[in-house]
Amino acid sequence: MSHHPDPRQRLTPAMRGLLDRVARAGHPPMDALTPAKARLAYEAGAPVLDIEPHKLARVQNLNIPTRDGQSLPATLFAPSEAPGLPVLLYFHGGGFTVGSVRTHERLCRRLAHLANCAVVSVDYRLAPDAPFPTAVNDAWDSLAWLRAEASALGLDGSRIAVGGDSAGGTLALVTAISARDAGWPLALQLLYYPGCAGHQNTPSHRLYAKGFLLDASLITYFFSQYLSDPADRNDWRFAPLDGVDASGQPRELEGVAPAWFGLAECDSLVDEGVAMADRLRLAGVPVDLEIYHGVVHGFIQFGRAIPQALKAHEDAARALKHAFEGDT
Give catalytic status of residue 271 as yes or no: no
Q: What is the CA 14 to chain-centroid distance, rounded? A: 23
- Label the pairing between strands 155-165 and 189-192: parallel
Residues with Cβ within 8 Å of residue 272, at least 6 apart in sequence: 195, 196, 197, 202, 204, 241
> 92, 113, 205, 297: which is the annotated catalytic residue?
297
d(CA 163, CA 92): 9
The pair phi, psi for residue 301, each rounded to 5°, is -105, 15
Q: Are the C-beta atoms of residues 160 and 143 closer than 8 Å to each other?
A: yes
Catalytic residue flag (residue 267): yes
User: CB of 125 within 8 A of CB of 65?
Assistant: no
Q: Which of 166, 178, 204, 268 is catalytic?
A: 166
List helix spans (H) across 183-238: 203-207, 216-226
Question: Is 166 among the catalytic positions?
Answer: yes
Pick the catalytic residue: 267, 271, 288, 313? 267
Instruction: Give catalytic residue positions.
Output: 166, 267, 297
